[in-house]
Each structure stands twice: as C-alpha cells, then as structure tokens.
Structure 1
Amino acid sequence: MGTATQDAINQLKALMDQVEEQLKRTFQNIHQGYQPQTLERFLKAREWNVAKAHKMLVDCLQWRVQNEIDNILTKPIVPADLYRAVRDSQLIGMSGYSREGLPVFALGVGLSSFDKASVHYYVQSHIQINEYRDRVILPSASRKHGRPITTCVKVLDMTGLKLSALSQIKLMTVISTVDDLNYPEKTNTYYIVNAPYIFSACWKVVKPLLQERTRRKVQVLSGNGRDELLKIMDFTALPHFCKREGSGSSRHSENATESCFSLDHPFHQQLYDYMKQQASIKEPREPIKQGSFHVNLPEPAAEGTDIVQTIESQLHKFGNENGLCGSKDDLKISDD
C-alpha cells in the first residue's frame, strides 16, 4: 500500500472518529473489524477524494440508521411461499468460493422477472443478501484464510435476455443504486456469461459510459464461461448454469438443490434459517409479522440515469430493426 493511499485512509479515519455514536455503531456493522479496507472501498468509489468519500460514507451511515438496516436480518420475508416466489423471480444465489477465498455470487439477469411481489420485497431481499454476505460470509472467509476478504465475485447469466427486460430496468437501477451508494467496491470482478446478441448490442454503447474503474471489472466470457471460470475456481464452485455443456436455461435444474437460485439450495436455506433465528432472538415471544421491510428508494445518480436511457434507446432500436415491437409505448416502463 503506497504512502498516498495510507495517508488518505488515515485522513478519512480521523474524520470518522468524529461522527456521533449512533453512526459509529452502524459503521461497525459495515466494517466488521476490517476498518482500513472499508475506508479504502469508499475512497476508491470517490476517486480517492477524502472529502467526497467522507460525505459518501456519512450519507451511507445515515441511510442505514434511518432505514434500520442493522435490523434487516431480523425481518425474514414470510410466509415461506412468498419468499419462494421472490427467489423464483429474483434469481440470485451463492455457488461457492474462488480459489482465493472470495464468495462466488450468481445472478440470473436474463430470466429474473421481478413479477411475483412488490418492489419493496425485492429490495428487502437484495439488501438482506448483501448484509448476510458482509456480516456473516465475508468475516467467516476472512477467519478461515487468516486475511481480510472483503469482496466477492459475481457471475451474471444473460440466458433468456429479451426486449421485455426493459420493464425490469427501473427496479434493477434502484437496486444497483443502493449498491453503488451503500455497498461500494464490494465486487472484485463481474463475469458475463451466456450473452445473446441483444446484450452485445447494448454493451457496445453502454461500455463507454462506465467509469474506467467499473469497465476494468467486467469480463464478457464466451458461452457459459466454464473454461475461463475454472481458472479461478473449482468445478464445485461454478454456478449451475456454467456446469452444463453449452448454454441453457438458468432458472431450472434437474436437482432443485443444485440451482443456486432455488430456496432449496443450501445457501438460501442457511440464510433463511439465520434470519428466522435472529428474529426469534430479537422478539422471542412475538410471531414473525408478514409485510415488506420498506427502505427509502434512492434516486439514481446522473451516470446511472444516462446508462438506463442509453439501454432503453438501444433496446427500442433493436426491437424496431428486428420487427419485435410496435410502438415505443409498448415497451414503456410502469411506475407501479
């Protein structure tokens, strides 16, 4: 670590030592004992500008306090059938660890429909997975390897990506904005697999809009990416959609527990059991209440808005060129 890097971390730490106690408490839930690495993440996200990183981190802490994020792991989505519906339509899971000890998260971007529950359930579920990763999985991996492990690897499956994905862009932008503002620099590398032509067309125009730091993290792999991914992880850690020969649907698997998106997968079973246990510790005599955990939804940053508009424009263009859509209104995003 260079002198300038360490100086910036020290400056930010000195500023954070001055925040009020309530913010310090929620900061502990963020850094989990790895404070320098956490400060470094926020500094990277603001191009090493200490004042901007300080504002970003304080805003994040205030968001956590205002939305009771520290308690979100005590709020399982119930009943289980509703949570299963969320899992079946918001395809995300954890398949294992890379050889460096980084958790491998899989996202079924192309086949996620986000149509089985309200927006707030999907945001709640996403934040719960983030918090479980940061408070349980990463600290456990750090202890196992005897060094700080504070980031993960993500494999994004584009199988099934269609023009109808336009209706999901709004929600996906909200979720990515939550991550950008409150969980910055948590992903080491994004691997894109099973990319159809429509993705390639969008990527070509979106890529130049991304910050160089983000562009360097994205790798578009050939086919299901199996051969490339096996260079950094064992076969057992591959997401299920990367294990098959050739491309294929990522929603279903012959064995339900094999699909890392399924509620029956060990990762989701452990996560759900953990949340129910935490709920019983917090309110031992109270039944778990049904209802979504509402989080204030952030406004997308200017960069994110530009990217969404570019994707929308490219999808409309693609649809019109291929005769896949009639008017622009047919693809209008709903505000519901």
Structure 2
Amino acid sequence: MGNNPQEAIKKLKALMDQVDQAMKKSFQNVHQGFITETIDRFLKAREYDVAKAHKMLVDCLKWRVENEIDNVLRKPILPADVYRAVRDSQLVGLSGYSKEGLPVFAIGVGLSALDKATVNDYVQSHIQINEYRDRVILPSASKKYGRPITTCVKILDMTGLKLSALGHTKLLTILSTIDDLNYPERTTAYYIVNAPYVFSSCWKVIKPLLHERTRKKVQVLPGCGKDELLKIMDYTSLPHFCKRESSLSSRSSARQGGNNCYSLDHFFHQQLYNYIKQQSLINEPVEPIRKGSFQVNLQVPASKSKGAARTIETELRKYGNRLSDTLIELEIM
C-alpha cells in the first residue's frame, strides 16, 4: 500500500510533468482537463502505490503514442458493411444517463456473436467507443452537470447466454487487457440482468474471490432489473431489454432500430458514426484509409496481476469452462 490518496496524487502529478512532449500531448486526451481525477483513477488501480501507478500511466501513454490511439477517432471502420456487421454482433450502446449524470452503457453479453468481422475490427470498435466516451461523452456530461463526471454505469444483459460457447475467450481477454491497463476505473457499477440460473449459481462462488473494490461494483439483479435500476435512472434511460418483463423478446427488439441502443440507427451510434466520419475529413491523409490498416500492439498484464477476468476464468474452468467468455465482460469497457 502506498501513500495517502492526496499525497499520492501530488507525487504522481509531479512525475507526470517529467514525461516527454509526445506523452504529454497524449495525456491531454486522456485527462480532458480533469487531471486530478485521472491521476486518482490510475492510483486507485494500483492501490495508491505511486511507483506502480506511474509505471502504469507511462506504459499507457507509450501504448497510445506507438499505436496512434489519439487518431483512432479519425479512422472509420471500412467498408460500411463491415462496420454494420460489427455493430450487429458487438452489442454495446449508450442508453441514457443516471440521475447523477453518469452515462449508462448497455452490453449485450449473451447475444453478442463476435463472429461477423476480424479481431482487428472489433478491437478498433472497442477502442473507438472508449475514446468517444472519454473525449466526448464524459466531458459533455461534466459541462452539463457542472462537475467532473469521469465514470459510467454498465448494464450487462445475459439474455441468450450460450453456456457452451468458449470461442470468444481470446478476443474478450484482449479487450479486457486493453481496458485494464489503459482505461482503469472508468466504471462505477456493473448491473447484471436477465441472468440464467446457472450464472447466478456460479456467481455466488466467484464473487468472494474478486478484489473487494471490484466486488462492490457488481450487482446481479432479479429479472430484467427494471425496479432496481429505476432507483438510479429515469425510465427513458433504461436499455430496451430492461423495459420488458420477459427477456425473450430481446432478440426481436434488436431489430427495432432507434429504440434499441445497440442498433446503428440509435442516436448514440449515429452520433459516433458521424463524429468519426467528420474527423476523418480533417487533415485528410494523402493515402486513403484502408480496411484492416488499424492494428494495435497487444499488451501483457503483469504476471502477478489477479484481476476479475483472470479470477473468473480460472474458477469457471473448475465448472467445466462453460461461462468464461461471458463473465470476462465484467472487466470490459
């Protein structure tokens, strides 16, 4: 355990003043003017150990510079039909805001196929949503509510969960690692809804094994979770799958366009799509952006790290490896 929080923040701020100009420029995209809150997130992820948090943040900035993450919102996924395929199979969207002003992201864990595009396409989409959240959504919410808003709420829908599917574990681990090392402590609470019985049974065993900080964030709600979620958000901010007493209609509702926050026709994805399109026209590169041109170096977490994803995967292997690709989602985005 390191220094007290305020002292640790002060020390890490001083260390960040010493990084090179390329990393300082990238750091501006990370903190968006909320330097103290950003420093605190990285410190919290490393138990306020200044040396470890400093290494984590510097490694993050190196990764951003080396992989041109600051330009990722200028790189649309092409061609358009590939982007639509990504959106149809990587189910995530912004459904609204909590009563405290936190963005509410919905993730269709059970119905996400993740088999309609390449790994690079899904990684690019994931990073773009992270960056759009951090550079556009959160700063806009902070301005609207007149205070720093640097975290979000996530609702994980287990509708359609395939208990025997393990084919996506590698991709989900990649996304989880990217988030764990570069976007720490962005989620205040995870709400799991429409969970099948076997998930609930396994969760009772896994929950005590998680780090206390992570464990406190996760709640498995009964049914679609509507009654509990209405305590923290208005009805209009509920994802479509929480507005129905039965989750059986969730798949058909995925075709309802604007009412479904996963859909490319939803306002969030329309805004994101148009934003990236407009950004791509600014200082347009000499050579056109080619499909498959976006790749990132995959990072390897510290060998001693025992995050939620790793703990969950290990324990679920004892249950016959039946749910690991789903539960790893708890550390994603």
Tell whether the 8 Å contact from 1:169 to 1:308 is kept in structure 2 after alignment: no
Structure 2: give runs of 5+ residues left out of the alignment.
Answer: 324-333
Residues 297 and 252 from structure 1, CA distance in 2 versus in 1: closer, same or farther, beyond 3 angstroms?
Answer: farther
Tell whether the 8 Å contact from 1:110 to 1:157 is kept in structure 2 after alignment: yes
* Aligned equivalents of 2:256, 2:117: Cα separation in 1: 25
C-alpha offsets along residues 227-267 of structure 1, whole Å, 9 cap, x if unaligned?
00001111110011001123234344162111111111110
2:113 matched to which residue of 1?
113
* Aligned equivalents of 1:251, 1:48: Cα separation in 2: 43
Tell whether the 8 Å contact from 2:120 to 2:292 is kept in structure 1 after alignment: no
Residues 12 and 160 from structure 1, CA distance in 2 versus in 1: closer, same or farther, beyond 3 angstroms?
Answer: same
Q: 1:312 offset after TM fit, Å?
A: 3.2
Query: 1:26 corresponds to which letter in structure 2?
Result: S
Q: 1:134 offset after TM fit, Å?
A: 0.2
SS of the residue 2:107 aligns to: strand
Tell whether the 8 Å contact from 1:241 to 1:248 is kept in structure 2 after alignment: no
Q: 1:285 offset after TM fit, Å?
A: 6.6
Q: TM-score, normalised by structure 1?
A: 0.89
Tell whether the 8 Å contact from 2:12 to 2:50 is kept in structure 1 after alignment: yes
1:103 matched to which residue of 2?
103
* Aligned equivalents of 1:165, 1:157: Cα separation in 2: 16
Structure 1 range deviating more: 205-214 or 264-273: 205-214
* Aligned equivalents of 1:84, 1:174: Cα separation in 2: 22
2:225 matched to which residue of 1?
225
- Among candidates 313, 316, 326, match of residue 308 of structure 1: 313
2:78 matched to which residue of 1?
78
**Percent sequence identity over matched residues?**
69
Q: TM-score, normalised by structure 2?
A: 0.90
* Aligned equivalents of 1:287, 1:151: Cα separation in 2: 35
Residues 300 and 118 from structure 1, CA distance in 2 versus in 1: closer, same or farther, beyond 3 angstroms?
Answer: farther
Residues 241 and 78 from structure 1, CA distance in 2 versus in 1: closer, same or farther, beyond 3 angstroms?
Answer: same
Residues 113 and 164 from structure 1, CA distance in 2 versus in 1: closer, same or farther, beyond 3 angstroms?
Answer: farther
Structure 1 range deviating more: 77-86 or 243-252: 243-252
2:211 matched to which residue of 1?
211
1:273 matched to which residue of 2?
274
Q: 1:171 offset after TM fit, Å?
A: 1.4
Query: 2:291 corresponds to which letter in structure 1?
Result: Q
SS of the residue 1:192 aligns to: strand
SS of the residue 2:247 aligns to: coil
2:133 matched to which residue of 1?
133
Structure 1 range deviating more: 3-12 or 212-221: 3-12
Structure 1 range deviating more: 47-56 or 253-262: 253-262
What is the root-mean-square deviation in Å for CA atoms of aligned residues? 1.8
Q: 1:176 offset after TM fit, Å?
A: 1.2
Q: 1:141 offset after TM fit, Å?
A: 0.5
Tell whether the 8 Å contact from 1:91 to 1:251 is kept in structure 2 after alignment: no
Residues 36 and 22 from structure 1, CA distance in 2 versus in 1: closer, same or farther, beyond 3 angstroms?
Answer: same
Q: 1:292 offset after TM fit, Å?
A: 4.8
Q: 1:160 offset after TM fit, Å?
A: 1.0
1:49 matched to which residue of 2?
49
Structure 1 range deviating more: 126-135 or 300-309: 300-309
2:31 matched to which residue of 1?
31
* Aligned equivalents of 1:300, 1:88: Cα separation in 2: 30
SS of the residue 2:294 aligns to: coil
C-alpha offsets along residues 101-146 of structure 1, whole Å, 9 cap, x if unaligned?
1000000001111100111111110010000000001001101111
Equivalent residue runs for 1:144-183 within 5 Å: 144-183=144-183
* Aligned equivalents of 2:53, 2:14: Cα separation in 1: 13
* Aligned equivalents of 1:13, 1:257: Cα separation in 2: 43
Tell whether the 8 Å contact from 1:166 to 1:315 is kept in structure 2 after alignment: no
* Aligned equivalents of 2:25, 2:252: Cα separation in 1: 41
C-alpha offsets along residues 125-172 of structure 1, whole Å, 9 cap, x if unaligned?
001000000000100110111100000000000011122332222211
